Structure 1
Amino acid sequence: MKTKIFISHASPSENDFTKWLALKLIALGYDIWCDLLFLEKGIDFWKIIEKEIRVNTVKFLVVVSESSNKKEGVLNELATANKVKRELCDDTFIIPLIIDENLRNDDLNIELVRLSNIDFRKSWAKGLQDLIESLEKTKVPKKSPDPSKSNQLYQQIFLHNKKKIEREEIYDSNWFSIISFPSELRFHYFENLMPKNYDIRQLSFPAIRYKQYVCTFAWEYDFMEQLPKTELYNNKYSIKMSVEDVLSGQYNTEFINNLECQRLIVQLVNKAFENTMHESKLQIYQMSNKFGYWFPKGELDKDKYNKIQLVGKQRDKNWHFGISGAGKLYPFPVLMISSHIFFTEDGRKLIESKSIQHSARRKQGKNWWNDDWRNKINAFIKYLANNEDSFSLEVGSEEKIIISSASVEFISEVTYNIPEKNTLLDEVELADLNMLDYAEDDLSS
């Protein structure tokens, strides 16, 4: 009985997608064959491939891109699959999987034009969902889902040379210590002094509504220019609390509990970082729940800072290293900086297509090792700090949050051998095999 799903692809341009797809299907219980997982080097590979297609294959998946659409090896496999299709009288034997946004249906190989294809261009997760529905509809045999099997293959094939070594090593992080906060967190009773439905985000300094109050680090008089009625405000109505007590977990009252206070402080840190970045010369990208910031081409001398490249070329596109930031109070107060890569055609306007951004990001990121990411984050933060030891976030006319421009270091009791190839993005993509996530990837992944 034929049970195997054969995955045909062009190597190496489609390796990432093929590994991801193969291991996902294996985790779901399907019997998969693809050369990346099961073909040993130095053997007569064509005889093995032909036998797999003719004798064992129940469905033939062909990964379609500009490369595979004219790759000799893929075309040979497709020709064999067409013969099997006619022998089985199975019009659904060959299933094209289109992953290349630049490939139009009119450009498809003549053998694929009339076949029903599955579109992975906008979302790998949605494409996988559609593929599974097709496999179930045609009753392709499978065993019970077993994520451990695909995890085992992943460990054997992709992590075979990455074992821990018992040796102490210092690691940099993407955490930057918050050196100091203002001494007080203040709640001003502005309920009747603000216009109806006023957008508090318009205020010059970070502030958050809490009950009938405005929570902020700023003094009450810092808002007179935007809220004229506060000029006559009596500060005896303000509630003030020690930030030190809140951070130590010692502040609880009927008005507000300590955890809620800490949550408000984190929100104020995030808003202060956002305000600081928006006032800079950086470009802004709004993600689902945060902002990313990046340098336009030409803003920096030779697109570098401290000799670290932060803008560069990728064929017909420009890549732009960017960051986003978020506050964190546990286990100690820090600003966490996340890395991003954005792409433009002209150096200033982002490419709108999420799939092009995703594909270009994976390609560019594979060329960067941990040192590259670390150096770029540190260079970006040093830019914000003007090469000083710290930088500040303005949270009032007299109040600041001071943040170190040096990342937090951690000591590990173990280390590892640096692999010959940078497979970091492959491992991130393939490691979580215990469940299927059908939500479309956000551009910030």
Structure 2
Amino acid sequence: MLFVSHANPEDNLFAQWLSLRLATQGYPVWSDVTRLLGGEDFWNDIQRAIANRTAKFLFALSRASNKKDGTLQELAYAKEISKKLEGQVKDFIITLRLDDIPYDEIDIRVNRLNHVSFQDSWASGFAQLLAKLEDDKVPKNPGFTPSAVATWWRTQFSSELGIRQEPEELLSNWFPVQLPEDIYFHNLSRRSQGKLELDEQSLPYPAVHDSIFLITFARAEDFDGKLGNDMYIARVGDPLKLSAVLKDQKGFGKHLFRLLRLAWEQTLRERKLRTYELANNARCFFFVKGQLQNDKIFFSGADGEKAWRAMVGYSSRENPQTGITSVRYWHFGLEARPMVHPICAYNMKPHVLFTSDGLTVWASKKRLSAARRSQCKDWWNGEWRDRTLAAVSYLASQDGNLEIRLGSNVFGKVASRPLLFNSPVSYVDPQLLRAETDHLEPIDDYGIERSDEDDPFCDEAQT
């Protein structure tokens, strides 16, 4: 079988994922988060298991496992077994490198072993590991199949520790938007011949240009002298009911989507949040160092109690060779994705960005990706939820709503609390009862992954 040694609880999520993926490929695998799938629930003698039942010892190397006595003791014993098997078994120990731990800090028992990198992508690391296992002709067990793993998973999650016949209120990340009743289709024209062209980003209020129309919640006079030297509103549109337009005009939803996005971006620029360009023309708005008092926001938490969360923080590391301490700042930000169905709302997606000066986001996509993986590894669901609630509450006014300007005297209102869903049953993850993680890591649209040699602390010129 394959034995997965890892830091508990820091690397539980990875160990569970790896164990299940290996089992679906036909490999008997043991880890303390899954035990032996379909077999023993607990082994009292780990050493005997490593010595007598293990074909490969997979050591999940991370900053946590590199310092934990338990994992290092397992590794030391595996090294003893490896020496006894020398000449019989090739590469009894395989190291799986999970994070950005520097090579000069890796335990001496590990740094000379062959490494499979899972830093950039668990999927690519897994593909390399499978190739290694196949090359070394590690035996499989026909009892370990995708259906067997699925059966094990259902058994784990349908137990009395899973679904409970009790109602539960669930917090979403949908923040409802209340919009004005009236919308306008103003007719555009030119003073000279040519194509009607308009830069929507340069307009004073959210408006979408479609053919000869300027679609907006704002009145025509709000754009007087603001459409450029050659463009003007030739005919003022009559107010139309938004609900009727949504119902009757096919494809209007995409225009409303753009209006909501423009409104959000203009509002957050007015509130002095910095902008970071994501993939697919999306934008994230983040807090800079010193923008908030002590870089914190006090707010009403999910349970209604007063709480606070940091929006900016930092981590540092000293170079043992030069003695120079490098500092990186992390910045919490929000991307608001408009929704027009089934309700008008903003789907809030959290992001974390990094700077060296508290202001300017690093240019290197690879460096950002590496730093995010390192910084946010141990952030729980509650961390992301609370920071999102805190950021929106900071932007909201006294009445509990965030106003988005749609015209000179026209506003939409975004709720500072997300939509709640009521479930007839509740659920408790069995893993939580075994001191395991509830970890959820956002996937930022940086688009480029890092290579092994990229260091999130290094100078920009080195990346």
TM-score range, shorter chain: 0.7 to 0.9
| Match for residue 437 of structure 2 among 412, 423, 429 | 423
TM-score, structure 1 length as denominator?
0.76
Is the Cα contact below 8 Å between 1:97 and 1:119 reproduced in 2? yes
Alignment partner of 1:364: what SS?
A: coil
Q: CA deviation at 1:261?
A: 0.5
Q: Which amino acid aligns with 1:32?
A: V
Whether the 8 Å contact between 1:295 and 1:310 is mirrored in structure 2 is no
The alpha carbon displacement at 1:294 in A equals: 3.1
Q: Percent identity?
A: 26
Distance 2:438 2:108 in 1: 37
Distance in 2, Cα, partners of 1:188 & 1:135: 67
Q: CA RMSD in A?
A: 3.8
Paired AA for residue 130 in structure 1: Q
Partner residue, 2:297? 304
| Conserved 8 A contact 1:69-1:108 | yes
- SS of the counterpart of 2:415? strand
- Cα distance per residue 1:217-250 (max 9 Å; x no partner): 334454423412234x4116x6975322023x2x
1:434 corresponds in structure 2 to none
Pair 1:20-2:17 in alignment: yes
Question: Normalising by the residue count of structure 2, what TM-score does the alignment of the two structures yield?
Answer: 0.74
Per-residue deviation, residues 294-325 of structure 1 (Å, max 9, x unmatched): 33343333412335323165764665443221
SS of the equivalent of 1:425 reads: coil
- Contact in 2 for aligned 1:190/1:214 (Cα 8 Å): no
- Offset, 1:331: 2.3
Counterparts of 1:29-44 in structure 2, within 5 Å, are 29-38=26-35, 43-44=44-45
Deviation at 1:183, TM superposition (A): 0.5
Q: Pick closer, same or farther for the CA change 1:216–1:66 going to 2, 3 Å.
A: same
- Alignment partner, residue 50 of structure 1: 51
Secondary structure of 2:284's match? strand
2-structure distance, mates of 1:320, 1:162: 37
Written as runs of structure 1 = structure 2, the 5 A alignment for 1:14-413 is: 14-38=11-35, 43-53=44-54, 57=55, 59-69=56-66, 72-83=72-83, 85-88=85-88, 90=90, 92-104=91-103, 108=106, 112-113=110-111, 115-142=113-140, 143=142, 146-154=145-153, 162-181=161-180, 183-186=182-185, 188-190=187-189, 199-211=199-211, 213-223=213-223, 224-231=225-232, 233-235=233-235, 241-247=240-246, 249=247, 251-252=248-249, 258=250, 260-289=251-280, 290-302=282-294, 303-306=296-299, 307-311=306-310, 316=316, 320-342=331-353, 347-349=358-360, 352-365=367-380, 369=382, 374-413=385-424
Could you tell me how far 1:274 is from its partner in structure 2?
1.7
Deviation at 1:111, TM superposition (A): 5.6
Pair 1:188–1:353, CA change in 2 (3 A): same
- Structure 1 residue 148 displacement after superposition: 4.0
How far apart in 1 are the matches of 2:436 and 2:64?
22
In the superposition, relative to structure 1, how do residues 42 and 281 fare at CA in structure 2: closer, same or farther (>3 Å)? Answer: same
1:382–1:388 contact (8 Å) kept in structure 2: no
Amino acid at match of 1:52: R
Distance 1:301 1:11, change over 3 A: same
Read off the aligned partner of 2:283 and give its amino acid letter.
F
Distance 1:353 1:181, change over 3 A: same
Preserved contact between residue 181 and residue 402 of structure 1 (Cα < 8 Å): no
* Kept after mapping to 2: 8 A contact 1:60/1:94: yes
Contact persistence 2:96–2:118 (CA under 8 A): yes
Q: Distance in 1 between matches of 2:184 and 2:128?
A: 52
- Aligned to 2:230, the other structure's residue is in SS state helix
Taking a change above 3 Å as real, the CA distance of residues 440 and 151 of structure 1, as seen in their structure-2 partners, is farther
Q: Shift of the alpha carbon at 1:357? A: 0.9
Aligned length: 409
Deviations 1:41-79 (A, max 9, x none): 6823222222223xxx1x332222344446531432441
Pick closer, same or farther for the CA change 1:424–1:190 going to 2, 3 Å. Answer: farther
Amino acid at match of 2:292: L
Unpaired segments of 5 or more residues in structure 1?
Answer: 253-257, 430-438
Report the equivalent of 2:3.
6
The alignment partner of 1:189 has SS state of strand
| Greater fraction helix | 1
Range that drifts further, 273-282 or 106-115: 106-115
Uncovered stretches (5+) of structure 2, i.e. residues with no partner: 300-305, 317-327, 451-463
Question: For 1:393-414, what per-residue CA distance to the aligned partner results, in whole angstroms no more than 9, with x for missing partners?
Answer: 2233343323333433333322
Q: How far does residue 266 in structure 1 lie from its aligned partner after superposition?
A: 1.5
CA distance in 2, matches of 1:88, 1:314: 49
CA distance change for structure 1 residues 187 and 160 in 2, over 3 Å: closer, same or farther? farther
- CA distance 1:208–1:148, change in 2 (3 Å): farther
Alignment-mate amino acid for residue 360 of structure 1: Q
Matched residues in 2 for 1:107 and 1:171: separation? 43
Q: Distance in 2 between matches of 1:161 and 1:355?
A: 39
- Take 1:165 and 1:144, find their aligned partners in 2: how far apart are those partners? 31
C-alpha offsets along residues 191-241 of structure 1, whole Å, 9 cap, x if unaligned?
77888976433333333343454443334454423412234x4116x6975
